[in-house]
Amino acid sequence: MDALHLSGPVLVGPDEVAGQAWAVDGRLTFERPPAAVDTTTVAGWVVPGLVDAHCHVGIGPHGPVDDATSEAQATTDRDAGALLLRDAGSASQTRWIDEREDLPRIVRAGRHLARTRRYLRGLAHEIEPEDLVEHVRVEAHRGDGWVKLVGDWIDRTTGDLSPCWPADVLAAGVAAAHAEGARVTVHQFGEEGVEDLLAAGVDGIEHGTGLTAPTIAAAAARGVAVVPTLVNIATFPGIAERGEAKFPAYAAHMRALHARRRTTVRAAFEAGVPVFVGTDGGSVLPHGLVVDEVLELVAAGLPPLAVLDAATWAARRWLGVDALAEGASADLLVLDADPRTDVGALRDAREVVLRGRRVRRR
């Protein structure tokens, strides 16, 4: 039996530091192993592996990808420090990744559920409202406790963003997911329809660029989490430019949402909305952008320590996965500096340790 000695400091929580720890048989312990155990010492600041709470392993811009591409996506996330992924919708079967000790853990949301011709082609089950409840029940069991709905998208008949589901259908779909033991998160860009999502009892909103003061207050009161994906929202001006000639109202709307993106996220955080780190890597964007998203949230005015929490301890609690606790899987990063005061230290970890194995070293 071999052990990895983490000489610390070990950041057990935002305000809790242990002097040292060990990874033994893939598990974290704060008790020194017997002297007979071969031990390798690694020095540096230890933090839980990062959480990318919105990515898509197994899809590309045009739909499902092969296993080799899925493996490369997961490896890229791992090497960037994201050791726990919430896959917010994938058309590919990626359960085989769970058997790989060298790839990140994935919490899945099944496949996107969208209205017909109201999402990126090839990615979602495209259905009509009368079919939503049935599909929600199926995806609730295909995923790992999450269902992903597409809440709004461009409506080509009106030329702008509009909601995809009637309010009563949303409520029935969310109730069906909850009855199956799953939470519901929803893609939502615009303002219209957010009230219906909150009234239906959704558990999360992805992107959330259309949040306003009243819906922020309602989300905070209900504990509805938001994953802003600011690195994805940075693509809005390009989307607007491509759509300008045919859909000028849509283009103007996307530019307006982009212009206030940071103000919106900061207002949500300050109101008490749980905010988590997610990149949307895998559809249009590449994987491996988790630290970029951390820095974007800091640039939006969120306190660095709160953003670090949103990428580590708090995100793991939200997803039901231990951080740096006795007996937890030893999924962690070893850094050169304290990330609580310098989140930039996350950019190039000295060591990436997954299930107690050193999977990447600088």
The CATH number that applies at residue 231 is 3.20.20.140
Same domain assignment for residues 57 and 182:
yes
Tell how far CA 161 is from the center of its chain: 23
Same domain assignment for residues 40 and 138:
no
CB atoms within 10 A of CB 8: 17
Structural contact between residues 116 and 156, judged by C-beta atoms closer than 8 angstroms: no
Same domain assignment for residues 291 and 181:
yes
Alpha-helical (H) ranges within 47-163 are: 67-79, 132-142
Same domain assignment for residues 93 and 228:
yes
Look at the chain and report how many structural domains it folds into.
2
CA distances from 44 to 24, 79, 286, 335, 345 (A): 18, 18, 29, 5, 11
Enter the tokens of residue 245.
Answer: 């000639």
Enter the tokens of residue 159.
Answer: 């030329």
Distance (Å, rounded) from C-alpha 245 to C-alpha 132? 33
Distance (Å, rounded) from C-alpha 114 to C-alpha 300? 30
Distance (Å, rounded) from C-alpha 14 to C-alpha 314? 10
Same domain assignment for residues 157 and 260:
yes
Which residue range is the domain that position 55 belongs to? 50-319
Classify the phi-psi angles of 324: left when phi > 0, otherwise alpha if psi is within -120 to 50, otherwise beta.
Answer: beta
Same domain assignment for residues 42 and 54:
no
Helix axes 304-311, 290-299, angle to 10 degrees: 150
Residue in this structure with the two tokens 């990874």, named with its chain if needed:
23
Same domain assignment for residues 38 and 156:
no
pLDDT per residue of the chain (362 residues) written in tens, 0 to 9: 689 999 999 999 999 999 999 999 999 999 999 886 889 999 999 999 999 999 999 999 889 999 999 999 999 999 999 999 999 999 999 999 999 999 999 999 999 999 999 999 999 999 999 999 999 999 999 999 999 999 999 999 999 999 999 999 999 999 999 999 999 999 999 999 999 999 999 999 999 999 999 999 999 999 999 999 999 999 999 999 999 999 999 999 999 999 999 999 999 999 999 999 999 999 889 999 999 999 999 999 999 999 999 999 999 999 999 999 999 999 999 999 999 999 999 998 999 999 999 999 98
Residue in this structure with the two tokens 């009106």, named with its chain if needed:
158
Residue in this structure with the two tokens 């800091």, named with its chain if needed:
298
Enter the tokens of residue 331.
Answer: 């999924």
